[in-house]
Structure formats: structure tokens, C-alpha cells
Amino acid sequence: MQAGIVSCGVYIPRLRIKREEYQRAWGYSSRWVEEKSVAGFDEDSITMSVEAASNALMNANLDVSEIDAVYFASTSAPYAEKQNASTIATALGCKSDTATLDATSSTRSGTSALLSCLDFVASGRGRTGLVAAGDCPLGDPTGTLEHQLGAAAAAVVVGREQAAVKVEGSFSIASETLGERFRRDGQSYVTSVDLGPYHERAVDQVVTSCMKGMMDRLHRSPKDYAWLVLQGLDDGKAMGLSKKLGFEDSKIAPSMISAKIGDVGAASPLLALSKLLESTLQGQRMILCSYGPGGGADALSLSIEGEMKTVSGAAYADYLARKEYIDYMTYMKVRRIIAKG
């Protein structure tokens, strides 16, 4: 039994902060992020996911009563213990016998949740599932990682019938890379140990194995794919690595999202996927690859066979355009960095 992607939905919060604010505050900024999105004082990875999920349901023209599963992915879930997906399911108005699941601890959680939900549907446990990945990670304010961390959510409806995007196959790699990007239990801020060359090699190795493994399994090569989404590493690394793997820049460029919203953690792969699928890509194939620092990677081979609808006003470009700039002091208050509010 096959399962595929029926629809997508996105959410980007309104607040934005420019690179110049970080330059002014700390004297440096990330090369790849011109400005990033910021979760408001009353937003978090759950609230953002609810909106993305609502959009995905609207785009699928699906009533919430048809959803059999809600899977949530994030590295910044509001609760470390107390299920977050159940809040999302309740907010959407899902029926009580909905299967809920939280996938956390990695920027790879978005694709992990997607793969699990596809299995949920393919196995016959349910007919339609919803994957919502929302993230607003926070880095140590004095560290170099913080500037690039943004906020957003993306949701994917998976099902058997009317799946515009077929999932042809997948491949996953488990790896144990230490110090790359992590947050210990009880810590508020995600951090990393500065081991540039060591980590670069690890990323290289894991992503290469994952992508090659997936293409080999399907007897494919880069030329069979019109598009590549590669998330979980910064834009520069992603572009460089994809070139090395044999993909032209034009195949990966449209899915680079961090310049205007930053690194949105577990939401990154699904957000980039959603953005691409808003365009008419019927008849084309895409690889979706997501790297989780310290943990491995997932790759999915997608064949776009039908049309994906996007309700007017809820497209990626619409959310991107709705913005309000804040300064660094406001950022410190809104993200509760200056004090726990």
C-alpha cells in the first residue's frame, strides 16, 4: 500500500530581525542570514504548527474529522514532557481517536516524523495523517550559532488516495557525531563545539552516504531529479555538497530558505519542500534530504504526479511578505532572553 503527500501548509511569524542588529549588538553575524523570522511573545512551536496544519488542511480541502494521526516535530517543543502533538490535535478539532506523536531532539525530526506518518498510512493503521513541524530554536546569545536561528512551521498531509506526490523510496543513515549542535536536558540554548573541519567532514560523509544510498536503491542518479531539497546544514555547505554530488545549482537554489528566515530547525526540510511544491512541478522528481547534526540523515525520493493547491494568502511568499522589523532589544524581550517572562 502506497502513501504519498496530499498537501502542504506553511507559517512564518511576522516579526523579523535584520543582520545589522546582530552586527551592532555583537560585532558579527552569520554569512547566510540577511534577516530572520522571530516567534512572537505569544507564539511557540505549537502555535506555529497549528497554523501551518490548518493551512495544509485547507489546501487539501479536507475536513479535520478525516485526520487519523497528528505527528509533531521540533527541537524547541514547549514541553519536554507532556505531549505537544495532542495540543495541536485539540486545537485543530481532531477526533479523540487520533494517533499523536512527538518527534524531537534533532533538526532531522521533521523528515523522521514524515517517514513515520507515511508508514502509519501505508500500513493501514489510518487513511490520512498530518505531520506538523514547528521550530523556534534559541542559541546562546553570546555564541555564534544564535544569529542564524529563526522560527517557522510547515505541515504535510499524507494519505493514500489523492496523493499528488508519490514517495518512491527512502533511505536513512544513523551516525554518532559529537559536539556538532546540541542541547542538554534542562538547557535553554542550543550550542555547538567549534570543530569546523571535523564536523564538515562528518556532514559530508553522512549526507553523501544517505543520498547515494537512496539513489542506488532506486537505481537512479542526479540527472533523474529536477529538484533537490537539502536542509540541516548552512546554505553554503548545502550548495557545495550538492554540487559535489552532481546536482546543478539551479536544482537546489530555489529550496534555500535561510537567507530571509534563518535556520528553522526541524521545520526546515518540510518548509523548503512546501515552498517548492507550491510551484507546478508535475511530472518531475525531487530528493528531500534532511541532516540532523549529531544524529544522521533521511532522504526521500519524490515523484510529483498531481497538482498541489495553495489557498490564496497562505502561500510561502505571502507569509514572507507579511513582516515587521524589530530591534535587538525588542528581540531579547520577545524571546524571553533578557529575563524569563
Partner 1 sequence: MAYVSIPTYSRSIPQRYALIGARCKSCGTVNFPRGVNCLKCGKVLESEPVKLSGRGKIYCFTTVSRGGAPPEFATQQKFVGSYPVAVVELDEGPKIVAQMVDCKAEQLKIDLKVESTFRRIYEDDGMIRYGIKFRPARAS
Q: Which residues bind partner 1 (CB under 8 A)?
A: 14, 40-44, 46-47, 50-51, 64, 78-79, 87, 90-93, 311-313, 318, 322, 333-334, 336, 341
The answer to whether 306 and 282 have CB atoms below 8 angstroms apart is: yes
**Cα angle at 284 between 278 and 287, to 5 degrees?**
80
Provide, rounded to whole angstroms, the least separation between the CB of residue 308 and partner 1: 18
Rounded to whole angstroms, the Cα distance separating 85 from 237 reads 32
Q: Which is nearer to partner 1, 45 or 75 (CB)?
A: 45
| Nearest one of 256, 209, 210, 261 to 233, comparing CA atoms | 256
**Residue among 64 and 253 whose Cβ is closer to partner 1:** 64
Cβ closer to partner 1: 57 or 190? 57
- CA–CA dist 313, 13 (Å, integer): 14
- Tell which residue, 124, 128, 125, 133, has the closest CA to residue 102: 133
- The grid coordinates of residue 150 equal 529563526
Would you say 293 and 179 are in contact if contact means Cβ atoms under 8 Å apart?
no
Alpha carbons 227 and 31: distance in angstroms, whole number:
24
Least Å distance, CB 115 to partner 1, is 27
Residue 156, C-alpha cell as written in the block: 504535510
Of 41 and 325, CB closest to partner 1 = 41
The cell numbers describing 57, all together, are: 488542511
Q: How far is CA 74 from CA 48, 77, 218, 333, in A?
A: 11, 6, 30, 22
The minimum distance between CB 100 and partner 1, in angstroms, equals 14
Which of 197, 313 has the CB closer to partner 1? 313
Side-chain-side CA neighbours of 93 within 13 Å: the count stands at 8
Taking the least distance from each CB to partner 1, the nearer of 92 and 297 is: 92
Q: Which is nearer to partner 1, 96 or 250 (CB)?
A: 96
Compute the least distance from the CB of residue 93 to partner 1, in Å.
4
The C-alpha cell 545549482 sits at 249
CB of 56 to partner 1, least distance (A): 14
Minimum distance from residue 14 beta carbon to partner 1 (Å)? 5
Roughly what angle, to the nearest 10 degrees, separates helices 196-217 and 235-244?
A: 50
Smallest gap from Cβ 47 to partner 1, in A, equals: 5
**Shortest spacing between CB 337 and partner 1, in angstroms:** 11
- Cell numbers that stand for 118 in this block: 507515511
- Look up residue 59 and give its three cell numbers: 489546501
Closest to partner 1 by CB, 223 vs 322, is 322
